[in-house]
Chain A
Amino acid sequence: MTMYTITLVNRGDATYQVDGKKTLLESLRAQGVDLPYGCKYGGCITCAAKITKGSVNQTAQVALNNRQINDGYVILCVARPTSDCTFEIGVESHDQLYRNPFLDPLKPHELKADVATPLKDSSEELL
């Protein structure tokens, strides 16, 4: 069993030991962290949190578009840690999650993975 340390910055830097095989939502809730969630299959965005350090595997998620992923959002109900991680959790972490599509449209590569146009090379992202 590979264990990782999860730090929650907006919970006074509290730390938790979690199993890399379990979802972060499951592990953190089991240790008493009060987290919002809805569908539990990665489709509704309710459980989104922002990662500031570390890495996760969240390939099962279908809620986030590429811009949200680039902004550090993680779907805790399906994400499993692949290193020690630091998160900001709950709605307090959602400052960049929602955007008005008429004010701030997505670029083709920022859509959800299944409809996004991939960037040809990474330098384009800077344009």
Chain B
Amino acid sequence: MECCGPGYASPAEAMKAPCERLLYTIAIYTGTGIQKPDYLCTIDADPDSRTYSQVISRLEMPGIGDELHHMGWNACSSCHGDAGMERKYLIVPGVRTSTLHIVDCATDPRNPTLFKVIEGSEIKTKTNLSAPHTVHCLGSEIIISMLGDAQGRAPGGYLHLDKNFEIIGRWENSMGDIKFGYDFWYQPRHNVMVSSEWAAPNTFMPGFDLEEVGHLKYGRELHFWDFEKKEPVQTMYLGEDGLIPLEVRFHHDPASSHGFVGAALSANIIHWWKDDAGEWRWEKIIDVENEPHPEWPIPIPGVISVILLSMDDRFLYFCNWLHGDIRQYDISDPHNPKLTGQVWMGGLLDRAPVVNGVTVTGGPQMIQLSLDGKRLYVTTSLFSTWDNQFYPEIRTNGGCMLMVNCDTEGGGMEIDPDFVVDFGKEPNGPSRCHETRYPGGDCTSDIWL
């Protein structure tokens, strides 16, 4: 199909795209004691460039204390057939202020500029929502999961923006019995959206009290939506196997019904699919054991804070933020994953405190994979208050970004010895890096209709 809209005709086409030369990564000062705005970094990822593996520009947000976290494009392959659309703007929300920053990354890709700001106060007034998290475009429009109401109580809902970034209102027709919100992904050919559960903003923002999990203040359910009717139709109670289900990923193949979620606290990977009778089913396919710590009363769970699928749906990657490892599984048979690679950086188990000459404070956290599946970029900060609990030295050391080379033939991973961005050396003082996106799309942006 000849087309001039954004993205690619298929996942297979996306894999043939040119290698990423620039990375956009969030860096924060919120919670660090440095009274400066959070910012969007542009990082040089061209190995032939003199500034390879360096921050080449920084776009500061207008306010202080946003806690930039996740972000998403205004358009992806879901409008590949629409010549009027362009992958031009990153929508960069502040979780704490609820303010949305619309950043123009296309006019000068090396120096993104602020195009528009939607104030959190406007969002709260018009929709009674706060705490923006996941951004997905939806044809030419945008929906954002909002984790709380205007007072930070669960379950929040979904903010709907039009393509000019005007607030349409709430996207969903009903939240049903959903208790919490977090991430979501949709698979239009199955008319389904799946959403996961973190906690109310008033619960997770101040930090993590483990004891509150037992008081049901954190999620343990997965929700299946009728995507066209915009309402939840089925809930899967994951129980102890699915404590705090976070990142949700469907196969990139739009015909597939298979998807995965990482249960952060249980440190399990949950797989779901539609069976031959048309029923949604789920199973636990990976279980990371808790690790004892010599001096601590409670063993340490992996805390799977992120999962990601390669564009060809063959490999699943995830991080154990507290243990300090990234794993690669071959999921060609999604019921029977095979561990094919593992690397260590930071973490609380002290397996790899220094990598490429930089002290890794925090553990592997957000990851982003190149379209061809060969380069995995990793950052180390999770969320300012949680960082402060588990890795207090991050205040003085800052976060860092590393790259892992992935073998897409036989499987396997290796930390690249030449790539490291030390956010401890930022001009305004140590900052913390979080989610990354590439100008040409990546493995967590694009959905095919």
Spell out A's residues near B (CB within 8 Å): 34, 36-39, 41, 43-46, 62-65, 90-92, 94, 97-103, 105-106, 108, 111-112, 115
Given A43-B206, A91-B31, A111-B211, A105:B96 Cβ within 8 A: no
Interface residues on B, range: 35 or more
Secondary structure of the B side of the interface? loop
Interfacial chain A residues near B97, Cβ < 8 Å = 38-39
Cβ A111 vs Cβ B395 within 8 A: no
Instruction: State in angstroms the CA–CA spacing of A64 and B385 once bound together.
Output: 12
Contact call B205/A98, Cβ cutoff below 8 A: no
The listed residue (A44, A90, A103, A111) touching B212 by CB distance below 8 A is A111
CB-contacts of B365-383 with A (<8 A): none
Write the nearest CB–CB distance from B202 to chain A, whole angstroms.
Answer: 4
Q: Are A102 and B206 in contact (CB under 8 A)?
A: no
User: A36 contacts which of B64, B202, B293, B389 (Cβ < 8 Å)?
Assistant: B64
User: How many angstroms between the C-alpha atoms of A57 and B395 in the bound complex?
Assistant: 30
Within the assembled complex, what's the spacing in Å between the Cα atoms of A63 and B212? 13
- Whether the Cβ atoms of B211 and A39 lie closer than 8 Å is no
A45 to B207, CA, bound (A): 8
A residues within 8 A CB of B33? Answer: 36, 90-92, 94
Cα-based distance from A41 to B298 in the complex (angstroms): 33
Tell me which of B31, B65, B209, B395 contacts A65 (CB under 8 A): B209
Q: Which residues from A are CB-within-8-Å of B207?
A: 45, 97-98
Given A38-B67, A62-B202, A105-B297, residue A44 in contact with residue B152 (CB < 8 A): yes
Q: A38-B66, A39-B130, A103-B298 are in contact. List 13 more A-B contacts (CB 8 A).
A: A38-B30, A39-B152, A39-B201, A39-B205, A43-B152, A43-B201, A45-B385, A63-B205, A64-B206, A91-B33, A92-B33, A100-B296, A105-B297
Q: A43 contacts B205, CB within 8 Å? A: yes
Asked if B1 is at the interface of the complex by the 8 Å CB criterion, the answer is no
B173-192 interface with A by 8 A CB criterion: none
A112/B300 in contact, CB under 8 A: no
Cβ-based interface call for B32 (8 A): yes
B299 within 8 Å of A (CB atoms): yes
Q: Provide the residues of chain A in CB contact with B83, threshold 8 Å.
A: none
Closest to A47 in B: B65
Contact pattern, B 377-408, Cβ under 8 Å of A = 1, otherwise 0 = 00000000100111010010000000000000
**Contact, CB under 8 Å: B96 / A94:** no
Determine if A91 and B32 form an interchain contact, defined as CB atoms under 8 angstroms apart.
yes
CB distance from B182 to the nearest CB of A (A): 17
Interface check B51, CB cutoff 8 A: no
B210 at the interface (CB under 8 A from A): yes
- B151 in contact (CB, < 8 A): yes
**Neighbour of A34 across the interface among B35, B298, B389, CB < 8 A:** B35
Query: Are A102 and B201 in contact (CB-based, < 8 A)?
Result: no
A38 and B296 contact, CB distance less than 8 A: no
Q: Mark B196-227, 1 if CB is under 8 A from A, else 0.
A: 00000110011111111001010000000000
Interface residues of B in 77-125 (CB under 8 A from A): 96-97
Q: Which residue of B33, B97, B202, B300 has the most chain A CB atoms within 10 A of its CB atom?
A: B202
Q: Given A101-B210, A102-B298, does the pair A41, B152 have CB atoms closer than 8 Å?
A: yes
Chain B residue with the shortest CB-CB distance to A115: B215
The CA of A90 and the CA of B297, in the complex, are separated in Å by 31
Closest residue of chain B to A99 (Cβ to Cβ) is: B389
Taking a contact as CB atoms under 8 Å apart, the answer to whether B209 and A102 are in contact is: no
Q: List 25 A-B contacts (CB under 8 A).
A: A38-B66, A38-B67, A43-B148, A43-B205, A44-B96, A45-B206, A46-B31, A46-B65, A65-B206, A65-B209, A90-B33, A94-B33, A97-B207, A100-B296, A100-B390, A101-B209, A101-B211, A102-B210, A102-B296, A105-B297, A105-B298, A106-B211, A111-B215, A112-B212, A115-B211
Assembled-state Cα–Cα distance A39/B168 (Å): 23
Q: Complex: how many Å from CA A37 to CA B205?
A: 12
Residues of A within 8 Å of B206, CB to CB, are: 43-45, 63-65
